[in-house]
Amino acid sequence: MDANCILSIPLKETGSHDEIIWHYEKKGMFSAHSAYALALMLEGAACSRKVIESWRFIWNAQVSPKIKLFEWRCGLNALPILDNLQRRGIGKEHYSPCCLLELENLSHLLVSCTFAGLVWALFNLPWSPISLNAGKGMVWLQSVHRGLDAQDFALFLYICWGLWF
């Protein structure tokens, strides 16, 4: 019945074509960045502009979109790593599949795992692997970003993704 009502609505024929436009972005193009900004605004986050600005170094990095999305999730500690999955009631064992010695959390995965240490040593980036406290991924990423130039930071982001993937 509803379908018949909708189909009976007369349409104006102007000869123009329809376009899909995301009206929350000046250029009309959808992006994860603009969707995130909208979500913050709808949540009523008082500091939404500050939050968006704090992520700019990730969104402006010279890496592929999948790496940017990964690092954003890393900054929020929202990756499907074993520790996070267990906190959500998924799975029981959450030891690192690389070393089977320690619990797999973000810090272990990207910094303290023996395997991660070997990978970082191969690339010899000018940074000191500092401890990553749970829930502090954004602060960790910002501190690493401050110590690297754009090219080294892009390499750092790709290595992090490779360690996770």
Report yes or no on 14 lying in a domain.
no
**Same domain? 27 vs 74:** no
Q: For residue 129, what pLDDT is reported?
A: 67
Q: What is the spatial distance between Cα 74 and Cα 118, in angstroms, rounded to a whole number? A: 21
Residues 78-120 pLDDT 10s: 888 887 787 878 877 777 778 878 888 888 888 888 898 899 9
Pinpoint the alpha helices (H) of 8-149. Answer: 32-43, 48-54, 56-59, 65-75, 82-87, 106-107, 114-123, 137-146
Report yes or no on 126 lying in a domain.
yes
Q: Tokens 């402006």, residue?
A: 60
**Same domain? 95 vs 156:** yes
- Residue range of the domain that includes 37: 20-54
Give the domain-ending residue among 31, 54, 77.
Answer: 54
**Same domain? 95 vs 153:** yes
Residues 112-142 pLDDT 10s: 888 988 999 999 888 776 665 544 778 788 8
**Same domain? 44 vs 30:** yes
Q: How far is CA 23 from CA 1, 8, 35, 53, 105, in A?
A: 31, 28, 11, 21, 38
Q: Supply the DSSP symbol for 77.
A: T
Q: What is the spatial distance between Cα 57 and Cα 33, in angstroms, rounded to a whole number? A: 12
Q: Is the pTM of this model over 0.85?
A: no
